[in-house]
Amino acid sequence: MYKYDEYDQSIVDARVEEFRDQCQRRLSGELSEDQFKPLRLMNGLYLQLHAYMLRVAVPYGTLNARQMRMLAHVARKYDRGYGHFTTRQNIQYNWIKLEDAADILAELATVEMHAIQTSGNCIRNISSDQFAGAAADEVTDPRPFAELLRQWSTFHPEFTYLPRKFKIAVIAADEDRAAMRLHDIGLQLLERDGVLGAKVFVGGGMGRTPMIAPEIKDFIPADQLMSYLEACLRVYNRYGRRDNIYKARIKILIHELGADKYRAEVEEEFEQVRQLGIDPPAAELARISAMFAAPAFAASDGAVADRSDPGFAVWLDQNVRAHKQPGHAIVTISLKPIGGIPGDASAEQIDVMADLAERYSFDELRVTHAQNIVLPHVRVADLKAVWEALSEAGLADANLDLISDIIACPGLDYCALANARSIPLAQKIGQRFADLDRQRDLGELKLKISGCINACGHHHAGHIGILGVDRKGTENYQLLLGGSGAEDVSLGKITGPGFDEDGVVDAIERVTDTYVRIRETGERFVDTYRRVGMQPFKEAIYG
């Protein structure tokens, strides 16, 4: 894992003290809310329905046990005993007091964490593949590049006041586990003729105008990547609209300019930028990469998990993935218990996960964009012990990628922007499909719920998506089918008129019943949808 150097630590510490002063000036009345709001947002502090909310960055979703324990400590000492893991691989606390905010950031800084770039019109926390460094299908570990991007983007003076927020994802495998093409910039690292580089996609996103990022550069060598991205951002900074917040994202610029024109502008800018020498020397990438070196894996002892316990066997099949290192496995801990709140974990559960990471996963954890937690490097021989500990902590749900593994935004229960509640709906759907055999028969089915058009719950990318809207003061839910955030990326289509909360649960069941009736061997739900189209599902829903 990356370790802060003196420079990293000093800028984070300095930011904490600066924010402490800003908070004190706000509390004393010296600053108005209008003056203070942009300052607090630059430090991840929002004002939500019930209280201030603090969003803490987990760079590219990677953290160690010490950092995880700090997250539990913050939940316990400053919040109400829990945290909410988000679709941006971050964590949010819902009950923060302004008078505590600087102290929290100071405590986080002691474990090399902060809340910088979790809000505002800057380059946000870089996201990545939660299986980085463990997946057999990656060409390289994407995290050193994500870390380089973090350093490049942190407090970048030119990109602190972009037209709108800007999200970058980095992956290094053909399987896209990070919704890469639904980011403002998506990078897929790959090798060509023995040279490491990246395919660059620009202009994706969800929100009110969902778009899949078009390919802007087929291949840029890694040693020119930073210059190329600088050019991408500069063109956006120059031409992106600042007059209309709804048209300010880079996806709108590229849509209006056209990908070819945008690409030409970037190429022209790139020729200038590459002369500036901003690409880091190879030694710097090597220095960072060394911090992400593979752990000292033991040679495989040939252990095979004992499947005699049916509960354990199901969990193995559903939540455990192959590791690139023989004798090891990747464990995903589901934060989606039936009837629970997607992404929430109590301080005690966070501590348990930290302990397990320290003991069984080379001190590493990952946060996934699907609001789950990963132990990336578990010995096969230890899987049973991990499962038993997770079971004791209420963290052993074997539902990864099944219909109850729901992504849901906080919705109207917490969020000031939401139009409808997301969490109660996720709970009802989970309860309707609680039978695990039924879920497994339905197979991979990604269900995603957003409580408003901003799409924090990724509803456009759900095999089944749900969008909560406000219809004359009451909650109403639109149903979408056919989206995907994976390598088969697609945007869901609305089925028709919306439903109330119970109505949409019934509609989903009619959709899954239809799928079961018409699916062909080996087809996932989304495959069947793509084969037959909307009509059979529409008929089942609306008659």
Partner 1 sequence: MRLVTGNDLATGDVVWWTGRDWSRHIADASDAGERAEAIAREEEAARRVNVPYVIEASETPDGPRPAHIKDRIRALGPTVRPDLTLKPADALAGDWVI
Name which of 49 and 257 has its Cβ closer to partner 1: 49
Position of tokens 């919704």? 179
**83 and 345 Cβ atoms separated by less than 8 Å:** yes
Q: How far is the CB of 382 from partner 1 (least distance, A)?
A: 34
Min dist. Cβ of residue 397 to partner 1 (A): 18
Give the bridge partners for 191, in sequence order: 196
Cα separation, 376 vs 386, in Å, equals 12
Nearest approach, Cβ of residue 473 and partner 1 (Å):
6
Contact status, residue 407 vs residue 342, Cβ threshold 8 Å: yes
Interface with partner 1 (CB under 8 A): 26-27, 29, 32-33, 47, 49-52, 80, 94-99, 341, 412-414, 418, 421, 423-424, 427, 473-475
CB 543, min distance to partner 1, A: 27
- Name the token pair of 87: 């679709």
Cβ 419 to partner 1, closest distance in Å? 8
| 8 A C-beta contact, residue 232 and residue 216 | yes
Residue placing its CB nearer to partner 1 in the complex, 398 or 406: 406
**Tokens 């004791």 map to which residue?**
392
Q: How far apart are CA 308 and CA 50, in angstroms?
A: 48
Q: Are 436 and 399 in contact (CB under 8 A)?
A: yes
- What SS3 class is residue 466? strand
Nearer to partner 1 by Cβ, of 231 and 408: the residue is: 408
Judged by beta carbon, residue 414 or residue 515, the one nearer partner 1 is 414
Place of tokens 């490049």: 152
Task: Name the residue type at position 6.
Answer: E
Smallest distance, partner 1 to C-beta of residue 500, A: 10
Q: Which lies closer to partner 1 via its Cβ, residue 473 or residue 543?
A: 473
Give Cβ neighbours of residue 390 (< 8 Å, ≥ 6 apart): 333, 352, 356, 396
* CA pair distance 246, 249, nearest whole angstrom: 7
Among 379, 519, 368, smallest CA distance to 458 is for 368
Minimum distance from residue 475 beta carbon to partner 1 (Å):
7
- Token pair belonging to 498: 């919306």
| Phi-psi map region of 23: left, alpha, beta (phi>0 left; psi -120 to 50 alpha) | alpha
Question: Is the Cβ–Cβ distance between 141 and 148 less than 8 Å?
Answer: no
| Closest separation in Å from C-beta 412 to partner 1 | 6
Residue 67 or 419 having the CB closest to partner 1: 419
The nearest distance, CB 248 to partner 1, in angstroms, is 23
Of 35 and 300, which has the nearer Cβ to partner 1?
35
Distance CA 285, CA 148 (A): 8
CB of 29 or CB of 302, closer to partner 1: 29
By beta-carbon proximity to partner 1, the closer residue of 430 and 482 is 430
Minimum distance from residue 502 beta carbon to partner 1 (Å): 11
DSSP 8-state class, residue 183:
S
Q: Pick the closest to residue 319 from 389, 377, 399 (CA basis).
A: 399
